[in-house]
């Protein structure tokens, strides 16, 4: 009898395990179809797709043991995220999952969407975007321009590219992947108009208003014309391929270090600085939103707080009342 029960128990375990494996295989296939849907129907950019893929696979691994993805399992996973990651990362991962479950519900892969019953609230971090002080931007640009060397054609070409990239960052406030992926035919060197492909493949146009910057872009294009035409991208590396995001980050880090700037400068800090200084100069926030390509004005409004902090600092130090001899009553 014991042997009979043992065989039955083994069969039950095998059937349960096989059921979990089949369920996980179905979920992998559903995830694959969802990512295809995001790529071809929603036309999301490659960076967003990469983030979705990472986030969804992470959840798939978490629930792979039993194949369950109900409300309790999702709640358990969200708790694990809070233990491991910062609020910004948690918010992104949960947004990825929520979009995925909405897709599953819409196309009837599931009938009970756990996110219909889950409310997730985040505390605002209160950390303002880091900007580069004006004097350090000036210091960096002056250092780079001082490195111009026409004695070596190869060195001169690379110098032109690097100064053109950094000037474009501060002139447009574009993201690093947007700069890296500018196509050659998206830059009009006659008018100074650049077409930027932003998040979700949303196009926007930004005007290069400085004649000096436009002149640098023209010189760079002229010296790298052949490589640009073959590659198809406006900014190219030494091998004639697209100048990648990581290469751009390393290039900026190198010049900042050589210029004697101790601050860790990243490409995105140029974007923060661009927005903050425009608002400080009185540019309307909705205009800044349009230039930056923000879908929500709330994202842009954070730069108002930075500008307000700077304004308060100026008023504390330079307000004319500070120079007045006011005698207050005791």
- Chain centre to alpha carbon of residue 101: 23
- Chain centre to alpha carbon of residue 227: 27
- Gap between the Cα atoms of 178 and 242, Å rounded: 12
- Gap between the Cα atoms of 289 and 301, Å rounded: 9
Q: How many residues does the chain have?
A: 330
Residue-wise burial string across 36-60, b where 16 or more C-beta atoms lie within 10 A, e elsewhere? eebeeeeebbeebeeebbebbeebb
What does the block give as tokens for 88? 């910004």
What does the block give as tokens for 230? 């073959």
Using DSSP, state whether 233 is helix, strand or coil: strand
- Gap between the Cα atoms of 253 and 267, Å rounded: 9
Residue-wise burial string across 261-279, b where 16 or more C-beta atoms lie within 10 A, e elsewhere? beeebbbebbbbbbbbbbb
Using DSSP, state whether 319 is helix, strand or coil: coil
Catalytic positions: 175, 199, 268, 271, 294, 303
Are the beta carbons of 165 and 210 closer than 8 angstroms? no
């Amino acid at each position: 009898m014991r042997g009979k029960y043992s065989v039955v128990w083994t069969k039950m375990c095998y059937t349960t395990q096989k059921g979990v494996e089949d369920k996980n295989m179905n979920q992998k296939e559903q995830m694959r179809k969802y990512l295809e849907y995001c790529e071809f129907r929603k036309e999301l950019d490659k960076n967003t797709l990469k983030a979705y893929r990472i986030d969804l696979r992470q959840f798939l691994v978490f629930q792979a043991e039993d194949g369950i993805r109900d409300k309790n399992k999702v709640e358990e996973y969200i708790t694990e995220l809070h233990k491991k990651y910062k609020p910004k990362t948690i918010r992104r991962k949960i947004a990825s999952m929520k979009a995925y479950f909405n897709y599953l519900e819409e196309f009837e892969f599931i009938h009970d969407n756990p996110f219909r019953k889950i409310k997730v609230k985040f505390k605002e971090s209160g950390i303002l975007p880091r900007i580069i002080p004006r004097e350090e931007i000036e210091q960096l640009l002056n250092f780079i321009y001082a490195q111009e060397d026409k004695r070596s054609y190869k060195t001169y070409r690379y110098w032109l590219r690097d100064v053109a990239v950094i000037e474009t960052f501060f002139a447009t406030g574009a993201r690093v992947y947007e700069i890296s992926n500018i196509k050659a035919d998206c830059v009009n060197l006659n008018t100074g108009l650049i077409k930027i492909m932003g998040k979700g493949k949303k196009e926007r146009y930004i005007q290069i208003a400085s004649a000096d910057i436009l002149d640098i872009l023209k010189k760079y294009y002229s010296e790298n014309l052949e490589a640009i035409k073959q590659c198809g991208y406006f900014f190219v590396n030494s091998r004639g391929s697209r100048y990648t995001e990581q290469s751009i980050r390393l290039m900026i880090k190198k010049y900042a270090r050589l210029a004697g700037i101790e601050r860790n400068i990243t490409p995105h800090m140029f974007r923060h600085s661009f927005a903050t200084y425009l608002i400080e100069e009185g540019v309307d926030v909705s205009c800044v939103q349009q230039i930056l390509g923000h879908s929500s004005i709330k994202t842009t409004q954070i730069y108002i707080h930075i500008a307000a902090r700077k304004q308060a600092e100026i008023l504390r130090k330079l307000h004319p009342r500070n120079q007045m001899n006011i005698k207050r009553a005791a």
